[in-house]
Structure 1
């Protein structure tokens, strides 16, 4: 593996061992990251998502060398950068790691080209100019080389920051919510651009975001963090369709847990739910997996289909207009709540009863809460 983190743990900045003992007794905990392990292959793009305060940025700072490990080991291309057991800590400037922050941190008094070349002063003038031209071409800003940062749009400034980070040819690029200050449409556009730029340069990268759509658009592999722990580290498709924990299932996408009962049907195990029986030969658990076969089933909004001819009826409790569709919150007559994406031309009123049916490709079950 190119990047390897093995059982990494670190405290929040400013927490001493005594503070850690006190907070542990109080049940609050002082570790920003707890026994976290992950890896990336060369050229792979990893993305970390999770709620605020879950340790994403702390982990990036740890990899960059800005924070010291309390436990574990970090290595890149076989070289150990930090090892808590040996007291080893390579300085940030010696790690050959680039970092792009939320704020662009561009030098306002320097041109775009000089901003990009800031970390290349060790090169001869000709080599420096060639490298600046190369990375500006890569990010599509060669035409703006002589401009000042304030003469560029927010998206262009972010691409300058990316070019500056790529210019020294880092072994690893870390990006901490670099698009958070941009509007939604620009973020979507730049996330696609970023993936293309990193792929063309062959750069291995670890990206932090709170935007799930952004994570799925950029990442080859996606990690979900919660309270300093990595709940799942897998391909985006697997994280969405096969969540490893109840937290991941609840955090990713729009969905709810509804009671289910696993029984043996004519085609094998099936899960009986308030909206019908669910069958998934690959993932449907045996009834013996849960006491009495009782479980909770994850039903996402895209699993519920609006169908006026369906026998199951649900009342609209809330609706959110999202342009192409509505996100409906529904309540069954039995009291269970569901969510559904419904095309926006199906504009029903709150309080109205509509027909629904379930269409689940992947049955995801957990122990009953």
Structure 2
């Protein structure tokens, strides 16, 4: 792997200079291949920015090690801590951090002062062209839109040809439509430049739009590091299943079918081409099954009926919150031309391609 993290741990100082407090990053290991784009996602305070700062060299490790292309950048066991400026890592922040008194071109060239004038100007022109801002070279940052300023910040980070680019929620201050547009642009720019990158965001749509691989963090730990498709359809932990997408956990019981195991639910039997867990996986086969909003299909002819408790209009679709007669709650994406009223009963059926089950939490764990 080009970027490799091995059991990385980080703790911030405790109160009043006392012993180190709770771990901000706890035993995180993952890798990025050269040219790959990774994304870290998780709730606020989960440790994703702290992890990024550790890779950049802005924080010292308390355990583990970090390597790029086989070179150790930090190793807690030996005390190695390469200075940030020696790591050849670029960073892009949320606030752009552009120099207001310098032109766009001079902002980009700020980190290229070691080059002679001609190669410096050539590199500035290359990255301006890469981010689509060649026409704005002589403008001041305040003359640009927020999206353009963020592209300048990206160009400045790319100009010195870093081995790795780190991006810490760079679009969080922009409006939703612009963020979606820039997410697609960013992936294209990173691909065109062949840059290996690690991106931090709290936005799932952004994570899936940008990342080749996605990591989900909670309480400083990495719950899953996988391709976007697998993170969504094959969550490794209950937290990932609950955090990613819209869904609920319904009661189920795994039994052996004629050929493969099936999960008995209030919506009928669910099977997954032999990949469903075995009945012996949980005591008595009793489990909880993940039912995402896109697993529930509105079908007027279906024998199972559910009452609409809430609905959210999303343009092309509604997000319905439904209640079965058994009391179980579900969520469903329904095309918006099916405009049913709250309190109305509609027919539904399950269309689950990936059956994901978890053990039922104990009463203590549930509390």
TM over 0.5, yes or no? yes
After TM superposition, give the deviation of residue 82 of structure 1 in Å.
0.4
Counterparts of 1:28-177 in structure 2, within 5 Å, are: 30-177=22-169
After TM superposition, give the deviation of residue 72 of structure 1 in Å.
0.5
Corresponding residue of 2:19: 19
Aligned-partner Cα distance in 2 for 1:341–1:144: 43
Aligned-partner Cα distance in 2 for 1:184–1:68: 35
**Is this contact kept in 2: 1:49–1:211, CA < 8 A?**
yes
Aligned-partner Cα distance in 1 for 2:33–2:13: 30
Aligned-partner Cα distance in 1 for 2:194–2:36: 8
After TM superposition, give the deviation of residue 268 of structure 1 in Å.
2.1
Aligned-partner Cα distance in 1 for 2:278–2:133: 57
Is residue 209 from structure 1 mapped to residue 196 from structure 2 by the alignment? no
Aligned-partner Cα distance in 2 for 1:162–1:14: 35
Aligned-partner Cα distance in 2 for 1:144–1:13: 44
Shift in alpha-carbon separation, 1:166–1:16, aligned structure 2, 3 A: farther
After TM superposition, give the deviation of residue 14 of structure 1 in Å.
5.5
After TM superposition, give the deviation of residue 368 of structure 1 in Å.
1.1
* Structure 2 gaps, min length 5: 362-367
Is residue 339 from structure 1 mapped to residue 331 from structure 2 by the alignment? yes
Aligned-partner Cα distance in 2 for 1:331–1:94: 58
**Is this contact kept in 2: 1:316–1:349, CA < 8 A?**
yes
| Residues 176-234 of structure 1, C-alpha deviations (whole Å, 9 max, x = no match) | 00000111111111111100100110100000000001100100000000000000000
2:28 alignment partner, SS class = strand
Candidates 350, 357, 360, aligned match of 1:358:
350
Runs of 4+ in 1 over 3 A off after TM superposition: 13-20
- TM-score, with structure 1 as normaliser: 0.96
Shift in alpha-carbon separation, 1:48–1:279, aligned structure 2, 3 A: same
Shift in alpha-carbon separation, 1:98–1:14, aligned structure 2, 3 A: farther
Corresponding residue of 1:9: 9
How many residues align? The count is: 361
| Residues 21-78 of structure 1, C-alpha deviations (whole Å, 9 max, x = no match) | xx6xxxxxx1100010011010000000000000000000000000000000011011
1:86 alignment partner, SS class = coil
1:266 alignment partner, SS class = coil
2:152 alignment partner, SS class = helix
1:85 alignment partner, SS class = coil
- TM-score, with structure 2 as normaliser: 0.97
1:19 alignment partner, SS class = coil
